[in-house]
């Protein structure tokens, strides 16, 4: 056993090695997120580092690599892009750190030299692309140096997840490689903050008890708020008002569908704004023109679908409005995050109407086609390859397949066809080249197996994300804390933390009441009691009519809460049911005719064991102009 003194000596030696290594990178100190993570790498714990772009993830493996290198250790870095690897190798080499990238960009002879160098222990850091792991010869090389392998670092690790935004089947080979080589340390890095992608990374890489480091996702100059909107005309006028009131720069408005994008743009135009639309349904040149005009600062506002954004780096977007409910907190945060790149104060507004949730539910359903449709698309493309011909317009392929599906008795919309193609491609059952989309058989062990159940689970995950967005919309406390906690950001786990820069923090600071009135609390309790009494046998519509007392079926005579919402409007009760769902008090079954039931929490609220004020329920907006609101106006 080591004495305390020798422990201290060893610790000091390690600290020296770290300081020396850091100096080689020309940095004065580590950033807070980096030091914790690097300590875990040294401790030999598998780590997953989730940090935003530019946070300095590379240093988290390069620094340990240099320290290991002093003792002859080799670090293998898996990275998906040759250009990225090249940049890193150049800058490491310039700092006197022996690094190399083994890529297909090098000629055969050069590759042989590199491999010899790796075997001879010439390099401290070796970058490889995931395709390398296809080659048995390369695996041989790795076996030969396995004893010297100090760390395997996987950069852009979200590429391993079929549900990430950038799935690379070759990343799937890594699991087996890691299992065989059993490196003493393994670290994965990504900027993607999706919880299930992180879980997938750990699972696919076979990490046991990985330490998750999530840090740095806050964007302090973004001011978040939710504005309740009534029907379409209310939304349009609020939208125009928001754009008009922005403080300089330009506004970006996101819509859930192409049709909505066009409609909002038309409204903004008639309100006198310089506006362009951007979505995937436009001709390339129209879209490019819109983007160029936007980039040139010649617009007040651009209205877009989520097709907009990749690579858009305009620094003075002063306002990002989501005119429709986005489908997930991830999408929302990323899209809102396009604002304020220059670091100046920027508003991110969610225009919220509870009815919009239904649109997103519909879109989620369309994203998960049935097994029959998937099978039919694959068979069609196998039996009649000419159907897979690719033209410059995505829509043409979709329309063609849709027509053929219709002839086979599958009446589906274009979104379903698009989703089927994407899913089949992701599972290696369709392959695309320049000319056509062709049916293939997936390569086993590389492409994830396509099973319908996992698609269903995936759809449930998406519905869960949508519910989280609804919760966000109704959340009565700090919105920044809500989102950053969802992402797992270690600095924002405390529910009482306040950012001071969101509508709720401001309202709380100004002493505005954000709680529910007694009448509202009573309404919530009786509706939950009714749902509890009906015991999951009926859907929203039926529950609503029983609540309103308009349902005169004698079988409900015994139900005490029947008519408990008398005098309310049907839409209000429906919306309240949705709001209670959003707050996790009611759950709907799946399927064509969903029935609703209370969750455990819902039951507890109904009997007064939990205070509804604790749950962030906010009463739905009243949309009718004729009927006076039964709700107290709060803002
Ligand atoms: N401790 C530090 N002190 C100062 N600068 C740093 C530090 N760590 C990293 N940097 C700098 O931050 C920049 C971004 O680093 P890096 O490329 O590693 O980011 P990243 O997290 O990998 O981002 P991406 O997701 O875009 O790949 C680099 O210019 C790097 O030199
Ligand atoms: Mg990086
Ligand atoms: Zn806040």
pLDDT of residue 633: 36
Q: Give the three-state DSSP class for 287.
A: helix
* Section 59-68 average pLDDT: 97
Asked if the model's pLDDT at residue 1 lies above 70, the reply is no
Q: 253 CA distance to ligand 3 centroid (A)?
A: 22
Which domains does the chain show, CATH number per domain? 12-214 (3.40.50.300), 222-356+471-509 (3.40.50.300), 361-455 (1.10.10), 518-615 (1.10.10.10)
State the pLDDT confidence band at 551, using cuts at 50, 70 and 90.
confident
pLDDT of residue 616: 66
Tell me which of 56, 187, 192 to substitute to probe ligand 1's pocket, judged by most ligand atoms within 8 Å of the beta carbon. 56
pTM over 0.85: no
* Section 460-469 average pLDDT: 90
* Section 142-150 average pLDDT: 95
Structure tokens at 11: 């610790």
Which ligand is nearest the CA of 498, by number? 3
* Section 392-404 average pLDDT: 85
Ligand 1 neighbours by CB, cut-off 6 Å: 27, 30-31, 34, 51, 53-59, 191
Which residue's CA is the nearest one to ligand 1's atom 11?
Answer: 56
Cα separation of 330 and 43, whole Å? 32
| The dihedral formed by the CA atoms of 420, 255, 500 and 466, expressed in degrees to the nearest 10 | -30
Q: 508 CA distance to ligand 3 centroid (A)?
A: 9
Cα separation of 617 and 635, whole Å? 15
Cα separation of 422 and 401, whole Å? 13
Lowest mean pLDDT among 171-185, 466-480, 585-599: 585-599
Q: 543 CA distance to ligand 3 centroid (A)?
A: 36
Output the average pLDDT for the chain. 88
* Section 163-190 average pLDDT: 90
Tell me which of 19, 52, 54, 216 to substitute to probe ligand 1's pocket, judged by most ligand atoms within 8 Å of the beta carbon. 54
pLDDT of residue 626: 34
Cα separation of 464 and 601, whole Å? 16
Asked if the model's pLDDT at residue 618 lies above 70, the reply is no
Q: 72 CA distance to ligand 2 centroid (A)?
A: 25
Asked if the model's pLDDT at residue 146 lies above 70, the reply is yes
Q: 33 CA distance to ligand 1 centroid (A)?
A: 12
Other beta carbons less than 10 A from residue 392's beta carbon: 7
Asked if the model's pLDDT at residue 285 lies above 70, the reply is yes
Strands (E), 112-181: 125-128, 149-154
Lowest mean pLDDT among 105-109, 168-172, 537-541, 614-618: 614-618
Which ligand is nearest the CA of 193, by number? 1
Residue 361 vs residues 146, 355, 582: alpha-carbon distances, Å: 50, 11, 13
Percent of the chain predicted with pLDDT > 70 = 95
Lowest mean pLDDT among 56-65, 132-141, 297-306, 562-571: 562-571
Query: Considering only CA atoms, which of 157, 178, 185, 138 is closest in space to residue 80?
Result: 157
Percent of the chain predicted with pLDDT > 90 = 55
Asked if the model's pLDDT at residue 343 lies above 60, the reply is yes
pLDDT in tens, 358-384: 889 888 888 889 889 999 999 999 999
Tell me which of 58, 84, 97, 191 to substitute to probe ligand 1's pocket, judged by most ligand atoms within 8 Å of the beta carbon. 58
Which residue's CA is the nearest one to ligand 1's atom 9?
Answer: 56
Q: 432 CA distance to ligand 2 centroid (A)?
A: 28
- For 463-499, b/e burial (b = at least 16 CB within 10 A) is bebbbbbbbbbbbbbbbbbbbbbbbbbbbbeeeeebb
Which residue's CA is the nearest one to ligand 1's atom 8?
Answer: 56
Q: 35 CA distance to ligand 2 centroid (A)?
A: 17
Query: Considering only CA atoms, which of 389, 392, 387, 390 is closest in space to residue 402?
Result: 387
Which ligand is nearest the CA of 495, by number? 3
Give the best-scoring range by mean pLDDT among 13-17, 138-142, 591-595: 138-142
Which ligand is nearest the CA of 79, by number? 2
Q: 56 CA distance to ligand 2 centroid (A)?
A: 7
Q: 466 CA distance to ligand 2 centroid (A)?
A: 29
Q: Across-strand partners of 152? A: 76, 186
pLDDT of residue 234: 87
Other beta carbons less than 10 A from residue 129's beta carbon: 20
Q: Across-strand partners of 228? A: 352
Cα separation of 52 and 28, whole Å? 21
Asked if the model's pLDDT at residue 478 lies above 80, the reply is yes
Asked if the model's pLDDT at residue 621 lies above 70, the reply is no
Ion ligand 3 — residues with CB under 5 Å?
478, 480, 499, 502, 505
Which residue's CA is the nearest one to ligand 1's atom 10?
Answer: 56
pLDDT of residue 325: 94
pLDDT in tens, 26-54: 998 999 889 999 999 999 999 999 998 88
Asked if the model's pLDDT at residue 149 lies above 80, the reply is yes
């Amino acid at each position: 056993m080591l004495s305390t003194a020798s422990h201290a000596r060893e610790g000091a030696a390690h600290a020296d090695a770290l300081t020396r290594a850091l100096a080689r990178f020309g940095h004065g100190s580590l950033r807070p997120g980096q030091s914790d993570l690097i300590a875990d790498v040294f401790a030999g714990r598998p780590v997953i580092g989730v940090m935003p772009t530019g946070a300095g993830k590379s240093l988290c493996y390069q620094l340990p690599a240099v320290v290991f290198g002093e003792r002859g250790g080799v670090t293998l870095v898996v990275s998906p892009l040759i250009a990225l690897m090249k940049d890193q190798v150049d800058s490491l080499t310039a700092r006197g750190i022996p690094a190399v990238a083994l890529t297909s960009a090098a000629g055969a002879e050069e590759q042989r030299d590199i491999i010899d160098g790796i075997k001879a222990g010439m390099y401290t850091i070796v970058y490889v692309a995931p395709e390398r792991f296809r080659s048995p010869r390369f695996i041989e090389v790795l076996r030969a140096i396995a004893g010297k392998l100090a760390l395997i670092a996987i950069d852009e690790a979200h590429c391993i997840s079929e549900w990430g935004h950038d799935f690379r089947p070759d990343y799937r080979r890594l699991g087996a490689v890691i299992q065989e080589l059993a490196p003493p340390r393994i670290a994965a890095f990504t900027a993607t903050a999706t919880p299930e992608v992180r879980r997938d990374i750990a699972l696919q890489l076979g990490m046991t008890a990985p330490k998750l480091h999530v840090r740095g996702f806050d964007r302090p100059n973004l001011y978040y708020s939710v504005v309740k909107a009534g029907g379409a005309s209310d939304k349009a006028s609020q939208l125009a008002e928001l754009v008009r009131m922005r403080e300089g720069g330009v506004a970006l408005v996101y819509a859930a569908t192409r049709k909505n994008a066009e409609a909002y743009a038309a409204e903004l135009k008639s309100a006198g704004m310089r506006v362009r639309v951007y979505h995937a349904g436009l001709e390339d040149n129209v879209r490019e023109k819109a983007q160029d005009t936007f980039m040139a600062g010649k617009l007040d506002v651009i209205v877009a679908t989520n097709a907009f954004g990749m690579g858009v780096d305009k620094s003075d977007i002063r306002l990002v409005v989501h005119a429709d409910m986005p489908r997930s907190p991830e999408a929302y945060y990323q899209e809102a995050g396009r604002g304020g790149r220059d670091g100046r104060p920027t508003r991110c507004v969610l225009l919220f109407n509870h009815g919009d949730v239904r649109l997103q539910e519909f879109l989620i359903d369309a994203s998960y086609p049935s097994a029959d449709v998937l099978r039919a698309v694959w068979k069609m493309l196998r039996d009649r390859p000419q159907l897979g011909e690719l033209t410059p317009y995505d829509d043409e392929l979709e329309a063609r397949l849709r027509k053929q599906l219709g002839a086979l008795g599958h009446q589906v919309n274009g979104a379903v066809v698009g989703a089927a193609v994407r899913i089949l491609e992701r599972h290696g059952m369709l392959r695309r080249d320049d000319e056509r989309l062709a049916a293939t058989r997936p390569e086993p062990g590389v492409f994830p197996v396509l099973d319908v159940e996992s698609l269903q689970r995936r759809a449930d995950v998406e519905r869960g994300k949508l519910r989280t967005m609804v919760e966000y919309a109704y959340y009565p406390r700090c919105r920044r804390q809500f989102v950053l906690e969802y992402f797992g950001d270690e600095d924002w786990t405390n529910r009482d933390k306040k950012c001071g820069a969101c509508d709720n923090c401001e309202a709380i600071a100004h002493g505005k009441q954000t709680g529910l009135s007694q009448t509202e609390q009573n309404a919530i309790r009786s509706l939950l009691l009714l749902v509890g009494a009906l015991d999951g046998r009926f859907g929203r519509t039926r529950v609503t009519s029983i609540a309103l007392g308009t349902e005169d079926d004698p079988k409900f005579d015994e139900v005490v809460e029947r008519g408990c919402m008398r005098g309310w409007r049907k839409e209000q009760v429906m919306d309240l049911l949705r709001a209670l769902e959003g707050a996790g008090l009611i759950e709907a079954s799946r399927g064509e005719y969903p029935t609703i039931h209370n969750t455990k929490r819902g039951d507890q609220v109904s009997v007064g064991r939990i205070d509804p004020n604790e749950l962030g329920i906010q009463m739905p907006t009243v949309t009718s102009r004729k009927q006076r609101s039964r709700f107290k106006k709060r803002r």
